[in-house]
Homo-oligomer: A and B are copies of this chain.
Amino acid sequence: MRIAVLGTGSVGRALAARFAELGHQVVIGTREPEVTVADGPFAAWAAAHAGVGLATFEDSTQGAEVVVNACAGAVTLVVLARVGPERLAGKVLLDISNPLDHSAGFPPTLSVKDTDSLGEQVQRAFPAARVVKSLNTMNAALMARPTTLAEPTTVFVSGDDAAAKATVTALLTELGHADVLDLGDISTARGPEMYLPLWLRTLGALGTAEFNIKVVR
């Protein structure tokens, strides 16, 4: 499958590397590729992952069946606007972002919540994209390889398009996610996004991000 991963941070790199390892054709999208390759840590990572392409946000989505939004919540709508509605139309848009507001220090608050969500904002802004919210409830390493935990845990999916959720669910299963829980339409993204404050306090209590929740039933 051809996958565009928007964002060069820890989430983008972890998923791009893992999807490439699983045999997918992956291109990372960034604002200015020449600036990104001049970045030491990214250059070192890219050298170790020669199979992953790098292009502008716009070009990365060329021919992609799935576009992964791995950008920070604060820039998500700006980056997707740069890609543009035409390039996103009809595509599965896997949105991993969290609407974290760091302006008041740690822990961050949420810039949208309760009566709306970033997942819904993305869907409203790009009505022809097939948005699926998922993976935002764990750290980057566990998104890409959840089997490093001692037992299977849960990942949630929210979206209006059943076929898009099936595509994402298949990708999640490839990554190693053994319990994919479909919460319903894109408005249910409010649940996983509002879980972030509990994730942050659990991080503080455990002193590690190497944890995830399992819905025991």
Name A residues whose Cβ lies closer than 8 Å to a Cβ of B. 109-110, 113-115, 149-151, 153-154, 156, 158, 181-184, 188, 190-192, 194-202, 204-206, 208, 210-217
Contacts and interface: CB of A to CB of B under 8 A. Distances in A.
A204 B187 CA distance: 13
Contacts of A212: 215-216
Given A195-B194, A216-B151, A217-B149, A183 B211 contact: no
28 contacts: A109-B115, A110-B114, A149-B217, A154-B213, A183-B204, A183-B205, A188-B204, A188-B205, A190-B197, A191-B197, A191-B199, A191-B200, A192-B198, A194-B194, A194-B195, A194-B198, A195-B195, A195-B197, A206-B215, A206-B217, A211-B216, A212-B215, A212-B216, A213-B213, A213-B214, A213-B216, A214-B214, A214-B216
B194 A181 contact: no
A55 to B, nearest CB: 35
A99 to B, nearest CB: 11
A205 to B, nearest CB: 5
A155 B155 CA distance: 20
Given A194-B197, A194-B198, 20 more contacts: A109-B114, A109-B115, A110-B114, A149-B217, A151-B216, A154-B213, A181-B202, A183-B202, A184-B204, A190-B201, A191-B197, A191-B198, A191-B199, A191-B201, A194-B194, A194-B196, A195-B197, A212-B215, A213-B213, A213-B216
